[in-house]
Amino acid sequence: MSLSEVIIEGTLKPDGTLELDQKPNLPAGRVTVVLRQESQPPQQPQEDWWQYMQRIRAEREAAGYPFMNEEEMNNYLKWLREEDHIDVMLREMDE
Give me the sign of the Cα torsion angle 48, 54, 60, 63: negative
Asked if pLDDT for residue 95 goes beyond 70, the answer is yes
SS3 state of residue 5: coil
Any idea what DSSP says for residue 24? -
SS3 state of residue 31: coil
Give me the sign of the Cα torsion angle 76, 78, 81, 84: negative
The residues pairing with 21 across neighbouring beta strands, listed in sequence order, are: none
Query: What confidence score (pLDDT) does residue 51 get?
Result: 92
Asked if pLDDT for residue 2 goes beyond 70, the answer is no
How does the average pLDDT of the chain come out, rounded? 86
Residue type, 89: M
- Give pLDDT tens digits for 22-51: 988 888 888 888 888 877 766 776 888 999
Contacts of 33 (CB under 8 A, 6+ apart): 18
- Give pLDDT tens digits for 51-67: 999 999 999 999 999 99
